[in-house]
Amino acid sequence: MCDKGSMAQYTRVSGFVGLITLQNPPVNALSAAVRQGIVDMVERALSDPIVKSVVICGQNGNFCGGADIKEFGTNMSGPPLVPMIDAIEAANKPVVAAIEGSALGGGLELALGCHYRIAHSKARLGLPEVTLGLLPAAGGTQRLPRLVGVPAALNLITTGRHVTAAQALQLGIVDQVTDHNAVDVAVTFSLSVAGQSLDARRISTYLCPLPSDFDALFEGVMQKVRQSARGAIAPVACVQAVRAAATLPYTKGMEREQELMATLFTSGQARAQQYCFFAQRAVGRWRMPSGARWETSKPRPVHKAAVIGLGTMGRGITVALAQTGLSVVAVETQEKQLMEAKQAVSGMLERGAKRHGVVPTLDRISYSQNIQAIAEVDLVIEAVFEDMALKTEVFQQLSAVCKPGTLLCTNTSALDVDKLASETPNPELVVGMHFFAPAHVMKLLEVVYGPRSSPQAVATAMQLGKKMGKVSVAVGNCRGFVGNRMLMPYLQQAFFLLEEGATPELVDQALEEFGFPMGVFRMSDLSGLDIGWRVRKRDELVEPDMASGKSARIRQGSRYSPLGDLLCEQGRFGQKTGRGWYQYDKPGSRVARSDPWLHSFLVEYRARHGLVPRSIDHQEVLERCLYALINEGFRILEDGIAAGPEDIDVIYVFGYGWPRHRGGPMFYAGMVGLAKVLERLEHYQQAHPDVPYLQPCSLLRRLVAGGSPPIHRWREVIKKHQSQL
Ligand code: 3H9
Q: What is the CATH number of the domain that holds 331?
A: 3.40.50.720
Ligand 1 pocket, 241 CB below 6 A? no
Say whether both 357 and 455 belong to one domain: yes
Based on the fold, state whether residues 336 and 253 are members of the same structural domain.
no
Nearest CA, atom 51, ligand 1: 65
Q: Ligand 1 centroid to 104 CA: how many Å?
A: 8
* pLDDT of 549 over the 50 cut: no
Which class for 585: exposed (0-12), middle (13-18), buried (19 or more C-beta within 10 A)? Answer: exposed
Of 89, 129, 446, 632, which is the active-site residue? 129
Give a yes or no: residue 409 inside a domain: yes
Distance CA 264, CA 237 (A): 8
- pLDDT tens profile 207-251: 999 888 889 999 999 999 999 989 999 999 999 999 999 999 999
ipTM of the complex: 0.99
Do 95 and 148 lie in one domain? The reply is yes
Residue whose CA is at the smallest distance from ligand 1 atom 4: 106
Residues of 99-123 as b/e, b for ≥16 C-beta within 10 angstroms? bbbbbbbbbbbbbbbbbbbbbbeeb
pLDDT, average across residues 266-286: 96
Other C-beta atoms lying within 10 Å of the C-beta of residue 185: 20
Residue 627 reports pLDDT greater than 90: yes
Neighbours of 95 (CB within 10 A): 27
Same domain, 371 and 315: yes
Tell me if 70 CB under 6 Å of ligand 1: yes
Q: What is the mean pLDDT of the chain?
A: 94
Average pLDDT of the residues in 300-313? 96
Say whether pLDDT at 548 is over 60: no
Smallest CA separation from ligand 1 atom 22, residue: 281
The atom number, within ligand 1, closest to the CA of 140 reads 5
Domain shared by 203 and 232, yes or no: yes
Tell me the per-residue pLDDT of 53-94, one tens digit each, with 9 for 90 and over.
Answer: 999 999 999 999 999 999 997 878 899 999 999 999 999 999
Write down the pLDDT at residue 467. 96
Residue 111 within any structural domain of the chain: yes
Cα–Cα distance, 526 to 577 (Å, whole number) = 10
Going by alpha carbons, the residue nearest to atom 18 of ligand 1 is 278
Residues 628-648 have pLDDT tens digits of 999 999 999 999 999 999 999
What separation in Å is there between the alpha carbon of 686 and the centre of ligand 1? 46
419: Cα separation from own chain's centroid: 31
Averaged pLDDT, 257-285: 96
In this prediction, residue 553 carries a pLDDT of: 85
The answer to the question of residue 493 being in a domain is no
652 within 8 A of 665, measured Cβ to Cβ: yes
| pLDDT 10s digits, 327-356 | 999 999 999 999 999 999 999 999 999 988
Ligand 1 atom with the smallest distance to the CA of 62 is 56
Q: How confident is the model at residue 547 (pLDDT cuts 50, 70, 90)?
A: very low
Q: Is 62 in the pocket of ligand 1 (CB under 6 A)?
A: no
User: 3-class SS at 10?
Assistant: strand
The C-alpha atoms of residue 549 and residue 565 are separated, in whole angstroms, by 19
Q: How confident is the model at residue 1 (pLDDT cuts 50, 70, 90)?
A: very low
Candidates 24, 27, 81, 264: which one to mutate for ligand 1, based on the most atoms within 8 Å of Cβ?
Answer: 27
Q: Is 349 domain-assigned?
A: yes
Residue 55 maps to which CATH number?
3.90.226.10
Q: Quick check: CB of 26 below 6 Å from ligand 1? A: yes
CA 309 to chain centre: 27
Which pLDDT band, with edges at 50, 70 and 90, does 546 fall under? very low
Centre of ligand 1 to C-alpha 410, Å, is 33
Q: Identify the domain boundary among 265, 290, 316.
A: 265
Distance from residue 65's CA to the centre of ligand 1 (Å): 5
- Active site annotation includes 513: no
User: Per-residue pLDDT averaged across 552-559, rounded?
Assistant: 84
Ligand 1 pocket check for 195: Cβ under 6 Å: no
Closest atom of ligand 1 to CA, residue 284: 48
Is residue 350 annotated as part of the catalytic site, yes or no? no
Residue 273 domain-assigned?
A: no
Residue 223 in any domain: the answer is: yes
Residue 105 Cβ contacting ligand 1 at under 6 Å? yes
**193 in the same domain as 226:** yes
**By mean pLDDT, which of 181-190, 423-432, 535-544, 613-622 is the weakest?**
535-544
**Ramachandran angles phi, psi of 400, nearest 5°:** -75, -30
**CA dihedral sign, ordered 392, 398, 400, 405:** negative
Using the mean position of ligand 1's atoms as its centre, give its distance from the Cα of residue 34 in Å: 15
Q: What is the pLDDT of residue 75?
A: 79
Among 43, 89, 100, 109, the active-site one is: 109
Whether 558 and 433 map to the same domain: the answer is no
Q: What distance in angstroms lies between residue 132's CA and the mean position of ligand 1's atoms? A: 10
Q: What confidence score (pLDDT) does residue 5 get?
A: 54
Whether residue 287 lies inside any domain: the answer is no
The proportion of the chain whose per-residue pLDDT surpasses 90, expressed as a percent, equals 89
Total-model pTM: 0.94
Whether 645 and 667 have beta carbons less than 8 Å apart is answered as: yes
In a domain, 382, yes or no: yes
The pLDDT value given to residue 465: 97
Ligand 1 neighbourhood includes 465 CB (under 6 angstroms): no
- Backbone phi and psi for residue 9, each to the nearest 5 degrees, phi listed first: -90, 140
d(CA 582, CA 518): 13
Strand partners, 17: 13, 53
Phi-psi region of 462 (alpha: psi -120 to 50; beta: other; left: phi over 0): alpha
Atom of ligand 1 minimally distant from the CA of 277: 18
Which atom number of ligand 1 is nearest to the Cα of residue 67? 2
Distance 118 CA to ligand 1 centre (A): 22
Query: Mapping DSSP to helix (H, G, I), strand (E, B) and coil, where does residue 366 land?
Result: strand
Q: Which of 245, 265, 285 is the last residue of a domain?
A: 265
Strands (E), 371-526: 379-382, 407-410, 430-435, 444-449, 471-476
Whose alpha carbon is nearest atom 23 of ligand 1?
281
Closest to 246 in 3D by CA, of 141, 353, 400, 158:
141
440 and 561 housed in the same domain: no
Distance in Å, CA 64 to ligand 1 centroid: 9
SS3 19: strand
pLDDT in tens, 168-210: 999 999 999 999 999 999 999 999 999 999 999 999 999 999 8
- pLDDT, position 359: 82
* Distances, alpha carbon 311 to alpha carbons 170, 337, 511, 655, in Å: 41, 8, 31, 20
CA 31 to CA 22: how far, in whole Å?
A: 10
> What CATH code is carried by the domain that includes residue 593?
1.10.1040.10
Pocket of ligand 1 contains residue 629 by CB under 6 Å:
no
CA distance readout (Å), 436 to 383, 470, 472: 12, 10, 11
Residue with CA closest to ligand 1 atom 39 = 27
What's the pLDDT tens digit per position in 114-143?
999 999 999 999 999 999 999 999 999 999
Answer yes or no: is pLDDT of 520 > 50.
Answer: yes
Nearest CA to ligand 1 atom 40: 65
Check whether residue 664 and residue 569 sit in a common domain. Answer: no
If one residue of 60, 64, 69, 646 were mutated to test the ligand 1 pocket, choosing by the most ligand atoms within 8 A of its CB, it would be: 69
Ligand 1 contact, 696 CB (< 6 A): no
What is the tally of structural domains in the chain?
4
Pocket flag, ligand 1, residue 593 (CB < 6 Å)? no
Distance CA 652, CA 219 (A): 32
Q: Report the nearest-CA residue for atom 10 of ligand 1.
A: 281
As a dihedral over the C-alpha atoms of residue 252, residue 256, residue 259, residue 262, rounded to 10 degrees, the angle is -120
| Confidence at residue 538, expressed as pLDDT on a 0 to 100 scale | 81
Same domain, 343 and 372: yes
Q: How far is the CA of 258 from the centre of ligand 1 (A)?
A: 22
132 within ligand 1 shell (Cβ under 6 A): yes
CA 27 to ligand 1 center in whole angstroms: 6
Phi, psi of 571, deg, nearest 5: 75, 15
Same structural domain, 470 and 512: no
Residue 106 Cβ < 6 Å to ligand 1: yes
Domain boundary pick from 608, 627, 644: 608
Q: What is the pLDDT of residues 366-411, one digit of tens each?
A: 999 999 999 999 999 999 998 899 999 999 999 999 999 999 999 9
**CA–CA separation, 718 vs 699, rounded Å?**
7
Residues 101 and 186 in one domain: yes
Distance 59 CA to ligand 1 centre (A): 15
Residues of the domain holding 337: 304-480
140 lines ligand 1 (CB under 6 A): yes
Q: Which atom of ligand 1 is nearest to the CA of 282?
A: 48
- Confidence class for position 4, pLDDT limits 50, 70, 90: very low
- CA–centroid distance, residue 448 to ligand 1 (Å): 28
Q: Work out the average pLDDT over 322-329.
A: 95
- Cα 144 from Cα 173, distance rounded (Å): 8
The pLDDT > 70 percentage for the chain reads 98
* Ligand 1 neighbour 130 (Cβ under 6 A): no
